[in-house]
Structure 1
């Protein structure tokens, strides 16, 4: 895999308040440059949700209403998030969830494409489970520089970036990777092969 041929790509992760639909409490975006996570150009934001964080959500990511009481509201950081994402490709584990939530909060934003490392893992490995933890256990990437802890957006973007790079080495070209990793119906999905006409 020639990583220098990749378009601009950011691994993203969002954490929510546990409500339906969710309010965001944390967003992280980590660029991959030449096959490596690029912390120097990463972005991470905490934001105070409009509705309280549920106890279940706090047990997952550890963020509390008290901890975010003085954090900026989404309207204060939305433009910063939108600017960093731009029209780049994004990648995430179970990416349709992150894409859907981000798009709901940034209705004018549209990425060039969406890579799903869950879909990619299923195409790359024969595993009994494909959760982020299960794939991390299989691949065993270097997590020594990962910030925060599991289920925080910054940690999960670092973990997903490491997995994406490891799995990409199994594919010859960017187009091969896209064919394996982009879910149908999401931006960047390859056109179906064959004659589109009825004849």
Structure 2
């Protein structure tokens, strides 16, 4: 893969919620990928005090309890900062529909350049795996996670790093950026290749 054909910055992102429906965000991570490498020196990460309490089930998954978040900024204090950080860059997430939906709901003026889904990409790259969860793909592809944050799985910073490394690992199976996004961008999301129109006589 020639990474010079990529956008200057692709953001590997992950969000965590408080367990309600719809969720309040409690953590966002955005890790820039530049020139084929994750750039941890310019990563963005935010912990957020939700309007509604974190459910017991959600806290059991990501470990972000109400006590941990009680002194963190509310979303209204962070929204502009997060939106400015994201800009109009491409984003990449695992099962990206979920992250894109929640980010769009919380940032109504935000418009990414495109949305790469590593779940969709993995199904095109590694056909017939029994599972395409993030854990299953980490086990199968064995990306380099030696520099991943030590907070562990289901925290946004770790999952964003793992997603970035999975993206780069799978990118080696494609020759060009256009081939990659053809496999990785779900129809209907920003950046999806437009189908060619059938030629007609009129």
TM-score by length of structure 1 reads 0.97
- Asked if 1:3 is matched to 2:3, the reply is yes
1:19-34 equivalent positions in 2, closer than 5 A:
19-34=20-35
Number of residues paired by the alignment? Answer: 199
- Asked if 1:39 is matched to 2:43, the reply is no
Q: Post-superposition shift, 1:194?
A: 3.7
Q: Distance in 2 between matches of 1:42 and 1:67?
A: 21
Q: Distance in 1 between matches of 2:164 and 2:106?
A: 23
1:48 aligned partner: 49
Q: Distance in 2 between matches of 1:132 and 1:197?
A: 44
- What SS does structure 2 have at the residue aligned with 1:129? coil
Q: Distance in 1 between matches of 2:95 and 2:201?
A: 34
- What SS does structure 2 have at the residue aligned with 1:67? helix
How large is the Cα RMSD of the aligned pairs? Answer: 1.2
Q: Post-superposition shift, 1:196?
A: 6.7
1:141 aligned partner: 143
TM-score by length of structure 2 reads 0.96
Deviates more, 1:1-10 or 1:53-62: 1-10
* Residue segments in structure 1 that go unaligned for 5+ positions in a row: none
Q: Post-superposition shift, 1:55?
A: 0.4
1:126-137 equivalent positions in 2, closer than 5 A:
126=127, 127-137=129-139
Deviant stretches of 4+, over 2 Å: 196-199
- Asked if 1:175 is matched to 2:156, the reply is no
1:106 aligned partner: 107
2:191 aligned partner: 188
2:74 aligned partner: 73
- What SS does structure 1 have at the residue aligned with 2:69? coil
* Residue segments in structure 2 that go unaligned for 5+ positions in a row: none
